[in-house]
């Protein structure tokens, strides 16, 4: 089985660590490739950057749709996931959706611990979109930007533990989702300190797509994720134009 893990931002150091998390937990025989799009923001911390990265991510899935058995979108806001499902029938899973659903299997409610506060509205919208509002105890932000997690992991893990403990004590969380792909390598340290299950989104998504592929399931093409309509795309790359030809 070949899985393409796409980090929608263009910081290659983060892409490398995301790939390492995927490889650490993937099943024997699963081949992981981790890449970033050819263009886009270095980090994703707002609507503008999320929309830019979504388009670059769709282009990347379209470019490699014949080469892999499944795709993981490794940014917690799940940018472009629905559009990516339209351009391939192979499974496409975002790390936000994956970790939240996994957390529901082991706890009555989960909390998300994420990066800077401006991310909270994006994740609140994602929770609503996924129909998980009643299962989400809280979304708690640290003072860390996406890139600061890579630069200062010790500060990151301290802030993540502090917010996770508050989520458990004050908000009623029984599981924690790490709301940034860059937080993944710190998952077990947070789990040991807090005492509840802690989910890295990349690992969650890899395990889910492995199950879908092994079970022989593909993306349904009769409704929301039907193939894109055939029409002219003015000024778009040849990769994107090929989708609608």
Which residues sit opposite 113 in a β-bridge?
140, 178
Q: Note down pLDDT in tens along the chain; length 245 residues.
A: 999 999 999 999 999 999 999 999 999 999 999 999 999 999 999 999 999 999 999 999 999 999 999 999 999 999 999 999 999 999 999 999 999 999 999 999 999 999 999 999 999 999 999 999 999 999 999 999 999 988 888 999 999 999 999 999 999 999 999 999 999 999 999 999 999 999 999 999 999 999 999 999 999 999 999 999 998 889 888 988 888 77
* Separation between Cα atoms, residue 84 and residue 129, nearest integer Å: 16
DSSP 240: H
**d(Cα 234, Cα 236) in Å, to the nearest integer?**
6
């Amino acid at each position: 089985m070949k899985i393409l893990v796409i980090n929608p931002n263009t910081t290659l150091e983060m892409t490398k660590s995301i790939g390492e998390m995927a490889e650490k937990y993937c099943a024997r025989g699963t081949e992981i490739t981790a890449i970033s799009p050819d263009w886009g923001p270095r980090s994703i911390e707002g609507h503008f950057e999320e929309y830019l990265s979504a388009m670059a991510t769709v282009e990347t899935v379209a470019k490699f749709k014949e080469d892999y058995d499944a795709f993981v979108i490794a940014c917690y806001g799940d940018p472009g996931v629905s559009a990516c499902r339209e351009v391939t029938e192979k499974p496409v899973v975002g790390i936000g959706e994956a970790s939240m659903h996994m957390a529901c299997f082991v706890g009555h409610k989960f909390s998300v611990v994420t990066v800077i506060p401006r991310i909270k509205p994006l994740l609140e919208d994602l929770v609503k979109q996924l129909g998980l509002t009643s299962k989400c105890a809280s979304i708690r932000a640290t003072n860390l930007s996406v890139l600061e997690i890579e630069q200062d992991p010790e500060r990151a893990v301290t802030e993540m533990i502090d917010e996770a403990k508050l989520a458990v004590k004050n908000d009623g969380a029984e599981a924690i989702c790490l709301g940034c792909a860059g937080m993944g390598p710190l998952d077990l340290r947070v789990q040991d300190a807090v005492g509840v299950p802690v989910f890295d989104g990349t690992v969650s998504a890899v395990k889910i797509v492995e199950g879908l592929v092994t079970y022989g399931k593909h993306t349904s093409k009769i409704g929301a994720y039907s193939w894109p309509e055939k029409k002219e795309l003015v000024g778009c790359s040849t990769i994107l134009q090929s989708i609608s030809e």
